Structure 1
Amino acid sequence: MSTKKKQVKREDPLSTSTYKIIVVGGGGVGKSALTIQFIQSYFVTDYDPTIEDSYTKQCVIDSQVAKLDIIDTAGQDEFSAMRDQYMRCGQGFLLQILRIKDGDEFPMILIGNKCDLQRQRAVSNEMVEELKSQLKIPYLETSAKTRQNVEEAFYDLVRLIRNYQLKERPPINICNKEKKRKFKGCTLL
Structure 2
Amino acid sequence: MRLIQNMSTIAECPAQEHTFPNRTIKIAVIGGSGVGKTALVVRFLTKRFIGDYERNAGNLYSREVQVDGDQVTIQVQDTPGVELTDNAVSLPEHVSCSVQWADAVVLVYSVTDRSSFDLICQLHQLVLRAGGASPPPVILLANKADLLHLRRVEAQQGPLLAATLGCSFYEVSASEDYNQVHGAFHRLCCQFAKQPAPATTAANASASAPAEKKRSPLIPRPKSPNMLDLKRRFKQALSAKVRTATSV
Whether TM exceeds 0.5 here: the answer is yes
| SS in structure 1 of the partner of residue 38 of structure 2 | helix
| SS in structure 2 of the partner of residue 18 of structure 1 | strand
Q: Which structure: larger Rg?
A: 2
Q: Retained in 2: the 8 A contact 1:107–1:157?
A: no
**Which of 150, 157, 165 in structure 2 is aligned with 1:135?**
165
In the TM superposition, what whole-angstrom CA distance separates every residue of 1:91-121 from its partner, at most 9, and x where no partner exists? 1111154342225763222101111112222
Residue 160 of structure 1: aligned partner = 191
Distance 1:70 1:125 in 2: 27
Q: Retained in 2: the 8 A contact 1:25–1:75?
A: yes
Structure 1: any 5+ residue segments left out of the alignment? 1-14, 173-189
| SS in structure 1 of the partner of residue 26 of structure 2 | strand
Residue 113 of structure 1: aligned partner = 143
| SS in structure 1 of the partner of residue 130 of structure 2 | coil
Q: State the identity %.
A: 27
| Equivalences, count | 157
Residue 38 of structure 2: aligned partner = 32
Matches within 5 A, 1:20-99: 20-77=26-83, 80-95=92-107, 96=124, 97-99=127-129
Higher normalized contact order (CA 8 Å, seq sep 6+, divided by chain length) = 1
Distance 1:163 1:135 in 2: 24
The TM-score normalised by the length of structure 1 is 0.71
The TM-score normalised by the length of structure 2 is 0.56
Task: Give the aligned residue type for 1:121.
Answer: R
Distance 2:128 2:147 in 1: 27
Higher mean displacement: 150-159 or 119-128: 119-128
Q: Retained in 1: the 8 A contact 2:99–2:136?
A: no
Distance 1:165 1:112 in 2: 30
Q: CA deviation at 1:129?
A: 2.4
Structure 2: any 5+ residue segments left out of the alignment? 1-20, 84-89, 108-123, 204-248
In the TM superposition, what whole-angstrom CA distance separates every residue of 1:71-108 from its partner, at most 9, and x where no partner exists? 10001449722111111111111115434222576322
| Greater share of helix | 2
Task: Give the aligned residue type for 2:147.
Answer: L
Q: CA deviation at 1:123?
A: 2.1
Task: Give the aligned residue type for 1:154.
Answer: F
RMSD over aligned Cα, in angstroms? 2.8
Q: CA deviation at 1:58?
A: 0.8
In the TM superposition, what whole-angstrom CA distance separates every residue of 1:142-177 from its partner, at most 9, and x where no partner exists? 1111124111122111123346778x95x99xxxxx
